[in-house]
Structure 1
């Protein structure tokens, strides 16, 4: 029944690749999987066994966002102080 309406709706029978050919999610996923399997196979026996055990530990509720640089010491305090001063000027206090 769906095939009957595909032509009317302009849906192609061939799948369309979205993005750069070879860099779509399916291709990337299969490449990552292949690399992971090869990496596990290259491990020594005792490490290979440990690598094949799934880690089902849940993510911590409070976790920090990954950054490329270390945090700047006291940055948040300076931002809060600047915001406080700005709001004080705005309301004439």
Structure 2
């Protein structure tokens, strides 16, 4: 799906993520890991498009590709439950 941002919307998008702590952490980790594919920055929808989410900046985050892939189309509360219940335990 192609999103057509106006120049002002695009500028806000860039500024928002340029100073975002999550983006910078993800980007810096990707660089530190020699740009390994699984760690590359990926645009994620907090509320998935398939569940009514939008392309509004407030619904977008930058996270590692592998995390975005794992999150699939879970809603934020579903994903938080999965992370806390299954992914933070030592096996």
TM-score by length of 1: 0.24
Q: Which of structures 1 and 2 has the bigger CA Rg?
A: 1
- Which structure dedicates a bigger proportion of its chain to helix? 2
